[in-house]
Amino acid sequence: MGQVIFISGIDTDVGKTIATGWYAKKLMTQGHLVITQKMIQTGCEGIAEDLLVHRQIQEIPLQPEDEQGITSPYIFAYPCSPHLSAKLEQRQILPETIEKSTALLQQKYDYVLLEGAGGLLVPYNQQQTTLDYVQKQGYPIILVTSGKLGSINHTLLSLEVCQHRKIPVHTVIYNQYPKIDSIIEQETQQYLRQYLATHFPTTKFDCLDEIKVK
Residue positions annotated with a catalytic role:
38
- Residue 179, pLDDT score: 82
Categorize the per-residue pLDDT at 12 as very low, low, confident or very high, splitting at 50, 70 and 90: confident
Please give the Cα distance from 72 to 49 (Å, whole number): 10
Q: Which domains are present in the chain?
A: 7-110+117-148+163-208 (3.40.50.300)
Q: Rounded to the nearest 5°, which phi and psi values hold at 106? A: -65, -25
Render the burial of 61-100: b for 16+ CB within 10 Å, e for the rest: eebebbeeebbbbbbbeeeebbbebbbeeeeebeeeebee
User: Is 119 one of the annotated binding-site residues?
Assistant: no
Position 212 scores a pLDDT of 58
pLDDT for 210 equals 65
Is position 50 annotated in a ligand binding site? yes
Kindly report the average pLDDT of the chain as a whole number: 95
The annotation status of 42 as a binding-site residue, yes or no, is yes
- What is the pLDDT, as a whole number, of residue 213? 62
pTM for this one?
A: 0.95
pLDDT digits (tens, 9 = 90+) for 83-113: 999 999 999 999 999 999 999 999 999 999 9
Confidence of residue 214 (pLDDT cuts 50, 70, 90): low
Does the annotation place 150 within a ligand binding site?
no
CA–CA gap between residue 180 and residue 104 (Å, rounded): 40
Q: Is 134 annotated as a binding residue?
A: no
Residue 5: per-residue pLDDT: 98
Residues in the chain: 214
To the question of whether residue 147 is assigned a binding role by annotation, the answer is no
- Provide the β-strand partners of residue 34: 111
